[in-house]
Amino acid sequence: MLILASNSPRRREILSQLGLEFEVEPSRFEEKGEGLTARETVLAFARGKAEDVFSRHPNDVVLGADTVVCLGGNILGKPEDEADAARMLRLLSGRMHEVFTGVCVLSSGFCGEEVVATKVFFHPLEEDLIAAYVKSGLPLDKAGAYGIQDGFPLVEHIEGSYTNVVGLPEETVRALLSRIGGTKW
């Protein structure tokens, strides 16, 4: 059985779209990563989440993932409140940033890990758009205070994986799962 070590609705949706059967068990891993780069952070957190759930399900396949938004070397996590969300959107306005997702797949005898990076280019954002988006409540549970899939005209274009920006790079997940022998991935 595949177990997703996350309660993220976006990750659940991506796995469902891949046609995979899975269960969800959110990890109890405590995310602490001061002093790490964005790449190191997402990989450490994805591994920590997967290891936590795998310790309780050693006969299953566990998928852990973590996503951050990185602007100029600074990680933008989830906003604390509406004012913080608006601040982050102003920082991203008219600029390029990177979205990093660490993916870790664990099973008996297998540990596969990868970090995927996507460049995201934002339109210059008007204050009215920022205010409407923040008022919608959509940015409050997302790294960098935005979701590319939310239907607001924030992103001009991307270079890389769209599903990575959503929160789980489907191409990478499929590739890692395919490396586990004797399974139906």
Domains and CATH numbers, the chain: 2-178 (3.90.950.10)
pTM of the model: 0.93
Beta bridge partners of 26: none
Whole-number Å distance between alpha carbons of 26 and 5: 5
Average pLDDT, the chain: 94
Contacts 24+ apart (CB under 8 A), 27-32: 27/52, 27/53, 27/64, 28/52, 29/5, 29/64, 31/66
Token look-up 């990680």 returns 75
Contacts 24+ apart (CB under 8 A), 73-78: 73/37, 73/38, 75/38, 75/41, 76/143, 76/144, 76/145, 77/143, 77/144, 78/140, 78/141, 78/142, 78/143, 78/145
pLDDT tens, residue by residue, 106-159: 999 899 999 999 999 999 999 999 999 999 999 998 999 999 999 999 999 999
66 has catalytic annotation: yes
Select which of 52, 66, 81, 150 is catalytic.
66
